[in-house]
Amino acid sequence: MIFTSSLLYDLIGILVALVVVIISSMLWALTYWKRQNIFHIKPSFPFGNAKDFLFGRRAIFDIFDEFYAEAKKANASHGGFYILSLPAYIPIAPAVIKNILQNDFQYFVDRGVYYNEKHDPISAHLFNLEGNKWKELRAKLSPTFTSGKMKSMMPIVVEITERLIKIIDKEPIKDGLEMKEYMARLTTDVIGSIAFGIECNCIENPDAEFRKYAKILLDGMSTFSGILVDVFPNLMKFLGVRAVPAKFSDFFTKAVKDIIDYRETNNVKRKDFLDLLIQLKNRGNIDNEANSDISEKTKITLDMLLAQAFIFYLGGFETTSTTLSFLLYELGGNQEVQDKLRKEVFDVLQRHGNQITYDALSEMKYMDMVVNETLRKYPPLRVLIRVCNQDYHVPGSETTIKKGIKVIVPINSIQYDPEYYPNPEVFDPDRFTEENKKKRHPFTFIPFGEGPRICIGMRFGVMQTKCGLAMLLKNYKFELNTKTARPLKISIDKGLTAVEGGIFMNLTKIKEN
């Protein structure tokens, strides 16, 4: 094709005009919160308020913390933020957060987190699903986490934790052990057994397949890629971008499908999480406990089953192992707290025949305080995401959150706010005495979220954490190794709270009386 000079000039003119329109649109978008007359920090073009994050200089969570602090100085109950030119709403006051997560939940049902059912079926799980799909599935899965089912799982957790103790006993514990790795091997074995009836053997073999692929999964989960797909979800779906690393997804899908085929072919029942999901697939309900009138069309598909198995696996091993690791780090640096907690463990277990049981753990009130203080300092998710699904007027203000606007609840910022937690960097379990809890707004502590979308596996995660902690304290005294950084360096590019450089501890075996 031969271009005349006139045609070339026309094309250049069109291109320039297009660029001008795009730039003008972005500049106009970056005045959104100014036009809304709401607190905001002046954005930079074209990065919004996230420039340092997008250039890899700072964690996005640190930027949210800075925004939160500036909003507090301005006595703002909420504010507006920009990721590129996209506006996001950040609630600051606990009362506003309560309205969003609980009182006016119907306006904020969805998380707005990217998933791709077509190219990446296991990304369409309970955490990500929206609207009626989420509501129906949540109702179906809720009976999975009753106290009765927690109690029935407890002996398995105890038995696997005892295996960990036997392995640690063989290690040169005085030279320091990297506890995050050991905790991850423990929780992977627990979730493998309880959820799928699989002997993952990660405790005995750190190179076992489920541990190897778990590392692949976590390495592929970055806040940068997460924000990229959330900013351009339709383009990402068109391009077939997967939310879960393909290598892990293929491995996990095959492993769980093989177990399902074996169980259905041989009529094997194990009363674990996978059995419950198979019931939902085949019958639409769990043990006739709920939803007995569910029709054939509302049964979950195999892809839906695999997706729920995946999120239970991820939530079951990673958040719990991370929390346990942070717990041991804080106990290693606070020997008085560790000694007090160990005494409670021994005192309670003595009343229960020296057996770690569900009821025994329920009596450990100081342990509750220690776990809660750990979750305050190291929430597994440092923000909660919601998306407004219809225009919402913020009570007590002139602000309307428009349909489609992302809402970012800054958990980390709230739980480090000195107004609610004086000297927030200090580890102090006494913040969670009943008396002190009553002095604070309940929505200043939301490590698992709140309202109808509170983490469905919260009780299981806490039970697993407390069981592991009780067993470890019963057997060892923990002290920080010199290889452990103080303060800890938190990763700047992980969706879940993670530490860089490991958590190394010196262990001293406690002799039985």
Contact 402, 391 (CB under 8 A): yes
Residue closest to 98 by CA, chosen among 452, 380, 422:
452
Task: Mean pLDDT check: name the lowest of 86-100, 280-294, 295-309, 432-446.
Answer: 280-294
pLDDT at 294: 44
Contact 124, 300 (CB under 8 A): no
- Flag whether 38 is in a domain: no
Higher pLDDT, 132 or 227: 132
Portion of the chain with pLDDT greater than 70, in percent? 92
Task: Mean pLDDT check: name the lowest of 22-31, 258-267, 269-278, 363-372.
Answer: 269-278
Q: What is the pLDDT of residues 409-449, one digit of tens each?
A: 999 999 999 999 999 999 999 999 999 999 999 999 999 99
Contact 321, 426 (CB under 8 A): no
Contact 203, 471 (CB under 8 A): no
pLDDT-based confidence at 153, cuts 50/70/90? confident
pLDDT at 4: 62
Check pLDDT > 80 for residue 109. Answer: yes
What does the longest C-alpha to C-alpha distance in the chain come to? 96
Q: What is the pLDDT of residues 214-232, one digit of tens each?
A: 888 877 666 656 666 666 6
pLDDT-based confidence at 398, cuts 50/70/90? very high
Check pLDDT > 60 for residue 289. Answer: no
- Flag whether 149 is in a domain: yes
pLDDT at 296: 47
Structural domain span for residue 72: 58-509
When divided into structural domains, the chain yields a total of 1
Helices (H), 416-503: 434-439, 458-475
pLDDT at 5: 66
Cα dihedral sign, 96-100-106-108: positive
Helices (H), 102-222: 131-141, 147-169, 179-191, 209-219
Residue closest to 193 by CA, chosen among 324, 312, 283, 279:
312
Check pLDDT > 90 for residue 403. Answer: yes
pLDDT at 288: 53
Check pLDDT > 50 for residue 297. Answer: no
DSSP classification of residue 271: -
**Residue located via tokens 């592929």:** 220
pLDDT at 345: 97
- Flag whether 431 is in a domain: yes
Residues sharing a CB contact under 8 Å with residue 336, sequence separation 6 or more, in sequence order: none
Q: Which domain CATH number covers 266? A: 1.10.630.10
SS3 of 83, please?
strand
Residue closest to 463 by CA, chosen among 169, 274, 187:
187
> What are the strands, taking DSSP E only, across 328-412?
384-387, 392-393, 400-401, 406-409
pLDDT at 290: 47
SS3 of 121, please?
helix
Burial 382-391 (b: 16+ CB within 10 A, else e): bbbbbbbbee
Point out which residues pair with 91 in neighbouring strands.
78
- Joined tokens for residue 74: 């301005």
CA distance 482 to 180: 16
Cα angle 134-136-138, degrees, rounded to a multiple of 5? 65
When computed from its CA atoms, the radius of gyration of the chain, rounded to whole angstroms, is 25
Q: What is the pLDDT of residues 231-243, one digit of tens each?
A: 667 777 777 777 8
pLDDT at 512: 65
- Flag whether 13 is in a domain: no
- Cβ burial, residue 29 (10 Å; 0-12/13-18/19+): middle
- Flag whether 410 is in a domain: yes
pLDDT-based confidence at 291, cuts 50/70/90? very low
Check pLDDT > 90 for residue 196. Answer: no
- Flag whether 277 is in a domain: yes
pLDDT at 66: 96
pLDDT at 159: 94
Contact 260, 278 (CB under 8 A): yes
- Joined tokens for residue 20: 């001008």
Instruction: Pick from 159-173, 268-282, 400-414 the range whose average pLDDT is largest.
Output: 400-414
DSSP classification of residue 91: E
pLDDT-based confidence at 272, cuts 50/70/90? confident
- Flag whether 2 is in a domain: no
* Average pLDDT score, the chain: 88
Residue closest to 381 by CA, chosen among 459, 449, 320:
449
- Joined tokens for residue 164: 């960990």
**Residue located via tokens 């000079």:** 5
Task: Mean pLDDT check: name the lowest of 81-85, 266-270, 305-309.
Answer: 266-270
SS3 of 52, please?
helix
Higher pLDDT, 478 or 267: 478
- Flag whether 43 is in a domain: no
